Amino acid sequence: MEIQANEEEVVISEPPHLHLISAFLAMEPPDVLISFARECGGGLIGEKVQSFIWNHCISKTVENGGCQQGPYLKRVLKKLIGEIESDGVVVFDELYEHYAFIMTSLKDDSFPEGNSRVVKRISFLFPDECSELSSCPKSKKLEVSLQCSVNMLEGDTGCSIWPSCLFLSEFILSFPEIFFDKSCFEVGSGVGLVGICLAHVKASSVVLSDGDLSTLSNMRLNLESNLLSTRSDVPEHDKDSSTVQCIHLPWESATENELQNFAPDIVLGADVIYDPLYLPHLVQVLTGLLKRGTSYPNHGNDPCEGCQPDFRWIRSEVQNEGSKCDTTKGEVESCSAPCVEHEDHAFERGPVAYIASVIRNMETFNYFLELTKQANLIVNDITENSQPFNLLCYAKSYQRSSIRIFSISYM
């Protein structure tokens, strides 16, 4: 059964079909795709749904030369065919044939040596309530292509898409007023997703850094595949939001003079608080980027008039997917994160850093807090009061509730 052109346009642009395509492009687990497929078919994965999956997911990947996605397609087709057969529904010949082709082409789920990366396409889906805001992106979807590592646990962590990177990207896209026309500097930039989002909301300048040359090379490739320039020979007055600077910055060798020359308005980082050996160097880098010759006294909780961002983007009912810290009692209620000073606003006077992190080890995080205290850095947990929109609602493998976001400023 073929889908009519007018029907096709409707289902592609609306859930659950939009979520099914987005989940497939982001290489979500097969169970997630099956869930959306059943939702599309009212419980069964019938002819119409199979046709949709073939035409808008699998065949397009094959046409675009997605040979690297072979192991993923193998898992998806195996699960899909099994679910369809268990329902007693006829399976499309195309699905059988392509699964047979993959089975004969791939001996197992491993990649050849030196070819351990795939291209994932991350779709940020903006909710309808954004349409009334002047700051909302014109398009309801931002799609980002990223070459990334297959296995983040085998020494290629810098080329993996970490949950905190996704959360920080959602934060940027949900509160564009904070970053618009600001100079931004990211530490440990990985695949470059945060930089792409900063360019999208038109930060005045974006500098991405990483200490690994292989990661830096992959980052440049991702930026260029998303139509951003990484040229370093562009004069400062000719740079615009489509130009992103990439620099090699090992934290242990960065000097204070070198860091202060960048003088960014905003510093960003995602999942950089994880290795106790590197934390002293990380704190040194943050201090060098945030420390300025001019002090910014602020004895209250509110930023000065004129610095206050437009917080219409915050939902009227904040969904507390994370847990709260009760600072009045000095206790943590159902919370794996420590009680650090809470801040009611997501922007402060002077340079500020936004660090998103999963707190995997309390001892490591407490060590980070002690180092920041010694460096005269103020750490505020802004997670509960600055929840971004859920722009990745189809990404069921992405656990937002485990992520905290902190603002850090120099005292």
Contacts of 201 (CB under 8 A, 6+ apart): 172, 173, 176, 179, 180
3-state secondary structure of 54: helix
Listed in sequence order, the DSSP H helices in 201-248 are: 213-225
What is the rounded distance in angstroms from the CA atom of residue 33 to the CA atom of residue 17?
Answer: 10
Burial of 316 per CB tally in 10 Å (0-12, 13-18, 19+): exposed
Task: Give the integer Cα–Cα distance in Å for 150 and 119.
Answer: 10
Contact 248/211 with Cβ under 8 angstroms? yes
Distance of CA 350 to the CA centre of its chain: 25
Provide the token pair at 49: 């749904």
Spatial neighbors of 301 by CB under 8 A, at least 6 apart, are 343, 344, 345
pLDDT at 254 over 80: yes
Segment 381-400 shows an average pLDDT of: 95
Give the pLDDT score at 345: 44
CB 211 within 8 A of CB 250: yes
| Cα separations in angstroms, 15 against 39, 51, 144, 352, 393 | 9, 17, 19, 37, 10
Quick one: average pLDDT of 83-99? 95
The answer to whether the CB of 250 falls within 8 A of the CB of 236 is no
pLDDT for 299 beyond 80: no
What phi and psi values does residue 16 have, to the nearest 5 degrees? -90, -5
Question: pLDDT over 70 for what percent of the chain?
Answer: 73
- Which amino acid is residue 376, in one-letter code? N
- DSSP codes of every residue in 181-213: T-EEEEES-TTSHHHHHHHHTT-SEEEEEES-H
Distance (Å, whole) CA 104 – CA 99: 9
Give the pair of three-digit tokens for residue 173. Answer: 């896209």
Q: Which residue has the higher pLDDT, 287 or 317?
A: 287
Task: Return the amino acid letter for 242.
Answer: S
Residue 231 pLDDT grade (very low, low, confident, very high; cuts 50, 70, 90): confident
- Per residue in 348-361, pLDDT (tens digit) is 468 999 999 999 99
Q: Is the pLDDT of residue 126 over 90?
A: yes
Mean pLDDT for 279-292 is 96
State if pTM tops 0.85: no
Cα separation, 277 vs 279, whole angstroms: 6
Instruction: With beta carbons less than 8 A apart as the criterion, state whether 67 and 106 touch.
Output: no
Residue 312 has pLDDT above 60, yes or no: no
Confidence of residue 380 (pLDDT cuts 50, 70, 90): very high
For range 255-271, the mean pLDDT? 96
pLDDT of residue 117: 85
For CA atoms 348, 351, 357, 363, the dihedral sign is negative
- pLDDT score of 73 more than 80: yes
